[in-house]
Amino acid sequence: MLFSEYLNTPDLDFASGVTLLIDKPLTWTSFNAVNKIKHSIKNHPSFVKDGVKLKARVGHAGTLDPLATGLLIICTGKMTKQIESYMGMEKEYTGTFMLGATTPCFDLEKEVDQTFPTEHITEEMILEAAKKFTGLQQQTPPVFSAIKVGGKRSYDMARAGQEVELKSREIDIRSFVIEKINMPEISFRIVCSKGTYIRSIARDFGLELNSGAHLTSLRRERIGEFDVKDSLSLL
C-alpha cells in the first residue's frame, strides 16, 4: 500500500503515536524518509488538541544506507519513545557482494580503488568463509558511517579527508547463508544483531578469501517480528 493511501485510514492518531513500516526507496537517506512522512502528516487533525497545534514528532529506528532498500521503522508522536527498543531487535538482510575489488566505503557509493585476483577462489572456500563469520565476533565499522567521533559524524570527517579510527565492537551474526554463487558475485542472506555493518562484512569476507570485496546491493527484510512484506511504499 502507498503511504499516501494509508493516510486515509480512519481514526489515525499520529500524536498519540503510530509505528510505521516503510520500504525505503533506493538512493533515499533514512532522514529523507522521515522528512517525507513528517511533511505528509504535519497538518493531520490528530496534531490539533483543544484548538492547539502540536509539533509533529517523527523518528526512525535504525539507519539504512542510501544504496540500501527495505524495512525502515518510523515512529510518530509518543511512539518515538519505543525507538530504542526497536533498534535493539535482530535484523535480517539479503544482498550481493562483488569479489575481486574494493571501494573506500565498502559499497557502490564510491568507485573501485583496488582490484584483486579471484581465480583461486572456489565454491568450497566461499561456503567455509561464511561459516567462519557466524557467531559472536569483533567488527570494525566503516569510516563512512554515522558513528560520532568527538561529536562529529565519521562520514563527514572521512569525506573531508581526515583520518578516522573507529573501535571494533562485538556483534552476533546468527545466520550467514550463501544463496547463490555467480562469480565474481555472491548472493547472501544474513541474520544479525544490532550494530552490524554488512559493508564491513563484505570487506572482511574479501580478506578472508585472500582477495577483496565490496557490497553491491542490500535489502533489509526484517527487524524483529516486523517484515518488509508488511511495509508501506513512499513512491
Instruction: Please compute the mean of the pLDDT values over residues 50-67 and round it to a whole number.
Output: 90
C-alpha cell at 16: 498519540
- What does the pLDDT look like over 196-207, one tens digit per residue? 999 999 999 999
Q: Which three cell numbers stand for residue 158?
A: 572521512
The pLDDT of residue 70 is 98
Evaluate whether 185 touches 99 at the Cβ level (below 8 Å).
yes
Query: Could you confirm whether 230 is annotated as catalytic?
Result: no
Question: Mean pLDDT of all residues in the chain?
Answer: 94
Residue with cell 544483531: 193
Residue 93 or 47, more confident: 93
- The Cα–Cα gap between 114 and 88 comes to 35
Residues 62 and 21 sit within 8 Å (Cβ to Cβ): no
Q: How far is CA 137 from CA 96, 132, 168, 192, in A?
A: 21, 10, 10, 11
CA–CA separation, 201 vs 190, rounded Å? Answer: 10
Confidence band (pLDDT; 50, 70, 90) for 151? confident
pLDDT score at 52: 86
3-state secondary structure of 17: coil
Domain spanning 3-88+226-233: CATH superfamily: Pseudouridine synthase (3.30.2350.10)
Three-state secondary-structure class, residue 62 = coil
55: pLDDT confidence band, cut at 50, 70 and 90?
Answer: confident
| pTM reported for the whole predicted model | 0.93
- The predicted pLDDT at position 214 comes to 98
Grid coordinates of 93: 538482510
Instruction: State yes or no: pLDDT of 160 exceeds 80.
Output: no
Q: Do residues 46 and 14 touch, judged by C-beta distance below 8 A?
A: yes
pLDDT score, position 222: 98
Place of cell 556483534: 171
Q: Is 110 exposed, middle or buried (0-12, 13-18, 19+ CB in 10 A)?
A: middle
Q: Is the dihedral of CA 85, 219, 92, 115 positive or negative?
A: negative
Task: Tell me the pLDDT band of 96, cut-offs 50, 70 and 90.
Answer: very high
* Whether CATH 3.20.20.80 fits 91-223: no
| Each residue's pLDDT tens digit, 97-149 | 999 999 999 999 999 999 999 999 999 999 999 999 999 999 998 887 778 88
Candidate list 11, 13, 23, 65, residue with the active-site label = 65
Mean pLDDT of the 226-230 span: 98
Task: Give one word for 50, left, alpha or beta, with left for phi > 0 and alpha for psi -120 to 50.
Answer: left
Residue 158 has pLDDT above 80, yes or no: no
Question: Which part of the chain is CATH 3.30.2350.10?
Answer: 3-88+226-233, 91-223
Beta-strand runs (E) in 42-85: 48-49, 52-53, 58-60, 68-76
Q: Residue 36 is inside which H or E element, if any?
A: helix 30-41
